[in-house]
Amino acid sequence: MQAIWRGAINFGLISIPVRLFSATEEKSLRFNLLHKEDGGRIRNNRTCTVCGTTDLGKDDLVRAFEYEKGAYVQLSDEELANVQTETSHTVEVVHFTASEQIDPIYYQRSYYLAPDELGIKAYALLRKALAKSDRVAVAKVAIRDKERLGTLRVRGNTLVLETLYWPDEIREARFAEVERDVETSESDYKMASMLIDSLTEDFDPSQYRDTYRDALMAAVNEKIEGREVMAPEAPEEMPQVVDLTEALKRSLEEVKARKASGE
């Protein structure tokens, strides 16, 4: 893996030089656009909306911020480089907290932090203390021109930085439907609880696959081999159960039958 950032974890008066690596990658099939007539690849041309010039090079472009509709202020690369914060090259630990106090909606992306040679001992100390504390470190860090809130936690032998959305980046959930005061019966609640209990098991990520990606790749292979991609047989439609109580009863019966058969 290639490091995307170098800096240090600041933990009290301790500074741990580290490198930052992306911990995840999205695996999906990427399609290109072709010209229907001749199969030529269509690329995104950098085109000016004013003069119509196409294929503009890097030297022809500048960054600008639209501070009001149609009005921009330009910032050169040198000016952007001069914008520094205390977290530009550090993971600044602010405090520690129990992980359950952080709503999962805040979590954004995961990164691995690996120590440089001089920071191995301090890295191991922070890792051990953090693991035994059963807490996460709340930190601030600037990555790729943006200061981010984040947490540090331990995964195996590695420190993981989880970036968080800022509070003003979380949209409020305002839906009239969910604000209604809806009454539910005690018997329905008990059956719903039983269904949850029946479907509760330990989480094992290895048992899950991206079946859509598998099917899409199979379709690509079919086309490569010159065969037409055929629609699968439509599954039998399940009868719609409108009554909530009846739906809960049937769900419980299906779960019990599935467990009895060992599926």
Sign of CA dihedral 137, 138, 142, 148: positive
Average pLDDT over the chain reads 82
Question: What does the chain come to in residues?
Answer: 263
> How confident is the model over 132-147, as pLDDT tens digits?
998 999 999 887 667 8
pLDDT tens-digit series, residues 147-180 = 889 999 999 999 999 999 998 888 888 878 788 8
Give the position of tokens 């909606």. 105
Percent of the chain scoring above 70 in pLDDT: 86
Reading the block at residue 117, the tokens are: 């040679």
Q: What is the mean pLDDT of residues 11-36?
A: 74
Q: Where are the domains of the chain?
A: 5-24+83-169, 183-232+240-260
One of 3.30.565.10, 3.40.50.10950, 3.40.50.1370, 2.40.290.10 is the CATH number of 5-24+83-169, namely 2.40.290.10
Gyration radius (Cα) of the chain, Å: 27
Kindly list the distances between the CA atom of residue 152 and the CA atoms of 4, 54, 121, 134, 160, in Å, as whole numbers in the listed order: 17, 45, 17, 12, 6
